[in-house]
Structure 1
Amino acid sequence: MYKVSEFSEMTGLSKETLRYYAEVKLIEPAYIDPNNNYRYYDDGSYFLAILLVKLRSFGFTIQEMISVMEDESFEHLEDLLIQKKETIRLQIEELQQKTEEIDAFLASGKETK
């Protein structure tokens, strides 16, 4: 079992984030000491926390992460990752188009001088 501070250091998730994730049922402590309310996490919690860190880095919203965690078999995780990849690809295309529009706008301004 790992204390919150140890678990936070291991996973890179702040204590506040762990508290929030517990509130929204993303990851809950494996054990809460009834005497002092200290929260403890185990190795299974570590796997889930690392998954959450990865999903967040991929741009998953809290609601999307909740959907992943509710599917305890992770049966649909691959599909969700493929969908997220496609969304990111489309965003890249849109941003590329915007940069081209900016370049064209800047060029047109230089032509009138």
Structure 2
Amino acid sequence: MYKISDFSEMTGLSKETLRYYAEVKLLEPAYIDPTNNYRYYDDGSYFLAVLLVKLRRLGFTIQEMVGVMEDESFANLENLLIQKRKKIQMQIEDLHLQVEEIDDFLASGKEEVE
């Protein structure tokens, strides 16, 4: 079992984030000592924390992460990742179009000056 401070160092998640994740039922401590309310995490918690860190880096929202964690089989995780990938690709395409529009606008401004 790991105290919250040790678990925080292990996972890179701040103690505040761990408390918030417990509050929203995303990652609850394995054990809370009833005498002092200290939170303890176990190796299973570590696996889930690493997954949450990865999902957050991939742009998942808290609500999306809750959905993943509620589906303990992770059966839908692949579909969610595919959807997330498509969304990011669309954003990239939109950004490329914006860059082209900026370039066209800049070029038209230069033509008018000449």
Name the TM tier (shorter chain): over 0.9
Counterparts of residues 65-76 of structure 1 (less than 5 Å): 65-76=65-76
Matched, 1:95 2:95: yes
Alpha-carbon separation, structure 2, partners of 1:109 and 1:18:
52
| Cα deviation, residue 35, structure 1 | 0.7
| Cα deviation, residue 107, structure 1 | 1.1
Identical counterparts, % of pairs: 78
| Cα deviation, residue 110, structure 1 | 1.3
Aligned length: 113
Q: Hey, what does 1:36 align to over in structure 2?
A: 36
Q: Hey, what does 2:59 align to over in structure 1?
A: 59
Query: Which sections of structure 2, spanning at least 5 residues, go unmatched?
Result: none
| Cα deviation, residue 109, structure 1 | 1.2
Q: Hey, what does 1:21 align to over in structure 2?
A: 21
Alpha-carbon separation, structure 2, partners of 1:30 and 1:53:
18
The residue identity in structure 1 corresponding to 2:73 is S
Alpha-carbon separation, structure 1, partners of 2:18 and 2:106:
46
Alpha-carbon separation, structure 1, partners of 2:102 and 2:40:
52
Alpha-carbon separation, structure 2, partners of 1:66 and 1:108:
48
Question: SS in structure 1 opposite 2:40?
Answer: strand
| Cα deviation, residue 11, structure 1 | 0.6
Q: Hey, what does 2:109 align to over in structure 1?
A: 109
Counterparts of residues 40-51 of structure 1 (less than 5 Å): 40-51=40-51
Question: SS in structure 2 opposite 1:60?
Answer: coil
Alpha-carbon separation, structure 1, partners of 2:111 and 2:7:
59
Question: SS in structure 2 opposite 1:40?
Answer: strand
